[in-house]
Amino acid sequence: MGAQRPDRGRDKASVVVRGVSRVFPGDLRALDRISLEIHAGEFFTLLGPSGCGKTTLLRLLAGLEVPDAGEVEIGGRAMAGVPAHRRSVNTVFQSYALFPHRNVRQNIAFGLEMQRVSPAAIARQVDEIAELIDIGALLERPVDALSGGQRQRVALARALVNEPAVLLLDEPLSALDAGLRSRLQVDLKRLQQRLGMTFVFVTHDQEEAMVMSDRIAVLDEGRIAQVGSPQAIYERPEDVFVARFMGHENLLAVTRHDAGGVETALGRFEGGFAAGTHLLLRPEALTLHADAPPGSSGNGFLARVEECLYRGAATDYRLRCGEVPIAARVTNAGRSQPGVGDTIWVEVAPDSAATLNARRHTG
């Protein structure tokens, strides 16, 4: 086997996207001069709200869409003019797109059949992948007799059996219920680490993206807002859009900025902040005190507790300081906690706050 098959194989591939644009009729610019570099063997996630262009970008990599401008390289090879069926890239579709007239085994075998692999080799490879994904018992079943989670695994096996240089996953978990979903997140992450394959994963769920990815690109209206590790994206979002999308609520408009600190509606915060329109306070980096500790630097403010949400390992507080709502998360370590209605002093550690801009990539 192998002679007729395209440049497939265990050699994982990098993906380079250079200045890619895609315009749809009706003047909706789905992608606007996107540039990205995805490393070989990386779990890379395209994250963004619906309509941000993440699925379009994935389809461009698969060859199901053609860019209006710019270029795509997979494994160092330019993909211009290479149709989907000649690319060593396979996709797990959001709807799974299994062939209903074929059973599970025939579905998984489809890609190998199309590459004219010998029937014996196909049978062996299908059995192998079925064991890896743990669907060996389902092989002879018709696909319409499968549950959602089983279909998802079959779709995954159907793509993986071809050993693509890059595996594309288009919101593969979005149709599943929460419990199954978090289990499959872990499974998928482990599988990727075991195979060392390049995964490009599309999702609109920032927690899913953080759990699974080596790196994340946040997309906003067809442009890349930020690329980085989950930690970097969460802790140091570069603009308000990314911060909001990653779940941050404590964004204070900066009214004055100087070398010594910034001024906001909650008063002045000392520190060497970069210039920016907003100040971000991460909820888990705030500490709550019954009274202002003596000799406090002034990086803090008084607030009233409006709501306590006990979550086991931590408690989420909804605070209010004047008109400004603030969210704080405190780990429960057996200390006495403030209750609803208490007025407390919120201490902001200097390294837990950062300034950022309204929108980095305007124009």
Partner 1 sequence: MTRLRRDSLHLLGTVAPGALCILVFLVAPSIYLMGMAFLSTDATGLPALPLSVQAFRELAGFGFLGWSPGNLYTLLRSLWQTLLATVLVILIAYPAAYYISIRPARWRPVLLLAVVVPSWTNQVIRSVGWMNLFAPGTPISDLAVLLGITEPRMGLFPSQFAVIVGLVYNFLPFMVLPLYAAFERLDHAQVEAARDLFASPLAVFRHAVLPQTLPGLMAGTVLVAIPAFGMYVVTELLGGGKATMIGNLVAQQFAAASNWPLGAAGALIMILATLLGLWVLRRLGRRLGGDREVVI
- Site for partner 1 (CB under 8 A): which residue of 9, 76, 83, 260? 83
Q: Which lies closer to partner 1 via its Cβ, residue 144 or residue 291? A: 144
- Site for partner 1 (CB under 8 A): which residue of 54, 158, 215, 282? 158
- Site for partner 1 (CB under 8 A): which residue of 29, 33, 39, 102? 102
Look at the chain and count its residues.
363
160 binds partner 1 (CB under 8 A): no
Size of the site for partner 1 (CB under 8 A): 27
Half-sphere exposure in the Cβ direction for 134 (13 Å, CA): 7
Chain centre to alpha carbon of residue 100: 30
Interaction pattern, residues 260-279, with partner 1; x per rule: CB under 8 A = --------------------
Q: Which lies closer to partner 1 via its Cβ, residue 142 or residue 350? A: 142
- Site for partner 1 (CB under 8 A): which residue of 19, 66, 101, 270? 101
- Site for partner 1 (CB under 8 A): which residue of 55, 90, 152, 264? 90
Q: In the window 303-342, what residues touch partner 1 (CB under 8 A)?
A: none
- Site for partner 1 (CB under 8 A): which residue of 35, 80, 86, 332? 86
56 binds partner 1 (CB under 8 A): no
Find the shortest distance in angstroms from Cβ 265 to partner 1. Answer: 49
Q: Which stretch binds partner 1 (CB under 8 A): 12-20, 66-74, 107-115, 348-356?
A: 107-115
| Type of residue found at 260 | G
- Site for partner 1 (CB under 8 A): which residue of 100, 119, 260, 322? 100
84 binds partner 1 (CB under 8 A): yes
172 binds partner 1 (CB under 8 A): no
- Site for partner 1 (CB under 8 A): which residue of 9, 69, 78, 85? 85
Q: Which lies closer to partner 1 via its Cβ, residue 164 or residue 230? A: 164
Burial class (CB in 10 A: 0-12, 13-18, 19+), 269: buried
147 binds partner 1 (CB under 8 A): no
55 binds partner 1 (CB under 8 A): no
Which among 262, 263, 237, 259 is positioned nearest to 358, based on CA atoms? 237
62 binds partner 1 (CB under 8 A): yes
Q: What is the 3 state secondary structure string of the chain?
A: CCCCCCCCCCCCCCEEEEEEEEEECCCEEEEEEEEEEECCCCEEEEECCCCCCHHHHHHHHHCCCCCCEEEEEECCEECCCCCHHHCCEEEECCCCCCCCCCEHHHHHHHHHHHCCCCHHHHHHHHHHHHHHHCCHHHCCCEHHHCCHHHHHHHHHHHHHCCCCCEEEEECCCCCCCHHHHHHHHHHHHHHHHHHCCEEEEEECCHHHHHHHCCEEEEEECCEEEEEECHHHHHHCCCEHHHHHHCCCCCEEECCEEECCEEEECCEEEECCCCCCCEEEECHHHEEEECCCCCCCCCCEEEEEEEEEEECCCEEEEEEEECCEEEEEEEECCCCCCCCCCCEEEEEECHHHEEEEECCCCCC
Q: Which lies closer to partner 1 via its Cβ, residue 99 or residue 310? A: 99
Q: Which stretch binds partner 1 (CB under 8 A): 60-68, 127-135, 254-262, 346-354?
A: 60-68
Find the shortest distance in angstroms from Cβ 344 to partner 1. Answer: 53
Residues that bind partner 1 (CB under 8 A): 6, 62-64, 83-86, 89-91, 93, 95, 97-102, 106, 110-111, 114-115, 158-159, 162
